[in-house]
Amino acid sequence: MRTIGKFALLIFPLMLITSSAANGQESRVPDTLRTRILIVARDIMKNAGTCALITLNDEGQARVRAMSPFLPEKDFTIWFGTNPESRKVEQIKKDPRVTLYYLDNDASGYVTIYGTAQLVNDPKEKEKHWKEEWDAFYPDRQEGYLLIKVKPVWMEVLSISHDIYADPVTWQPPRVYFDSKD
């Protein structure tokens, strides 16, 4: 049963990316729950260590890869480093809509962020967003290293260990929307 639960937590966000706005089931959460969800989301994201970055290819199919993100900024902007020649860069150029998926380290929950990606080649940002363990992957940090900046549009969080559950009828997790005030 635990294997089925892990599989469901892994495949659920992939199903959501192909559905249209979760079939219109958009409901805003109260401010107190929103604050709790944001705290839990940040905790899951920190402890997960890695996440899946999901882009769309030319045929509109989801393409998934594991990434090593930086911790979310205050407004939940997420940064990644990548090779400027990678497929994901071309996919983001053509369609900047992306999904990020973080699985809680005990597999009891997840964070899914739907957002817009931007490619950033600014030297100051590249210096700021660098991990020493990447030296071997990016011997030419000036030309062979590019940033992906993801601004969140909305986020869903499910966490059994933090008592954040999906709707019992629709199974939709609580959703938090982001705007310029966040």
Domain-embedded: residue 182: no
Q: Is the pLDDT of residue 14 over 90?
A: no
Instruction: Tell me how many domains the chain contains.
Output: 1
The first and second tokens of residue 35, run together, are: 């604050």
Say what the pLDDT of residue 115 is: 98
Give residue-wise pLDDT tens across range 70-110: 999 999 999 999 999 999 999 999 999 999 999 999 999 99
Domain that residue 112 falls in: 2-177
Taking Cα atoms as reference points, which of 80, 90, 47 lies closest to residue 150? Answer: 80
Domain-embedded: residue 103: yes
Domain-embedded: residue 118: yes
CATH classification at residue 19:
2.30.110.10
Domain-embedded: residue 8: yes
Say what the pLDDT of residue 180 is: 55
Domain-embedded: residue 24: yes
Domain-embedded: residue 113: yes
Give residue-wise pLDDT tens across range 113-172: 999 999 999 999 999 999 999 999 898 888 899 999 999 999 999 999 999 999 999 999
Domain-embedded: residue 107: yes
**pTM of the shown model:** 0.82
Distance between CA atoms of residues 130 and 132, nearest Å: 7
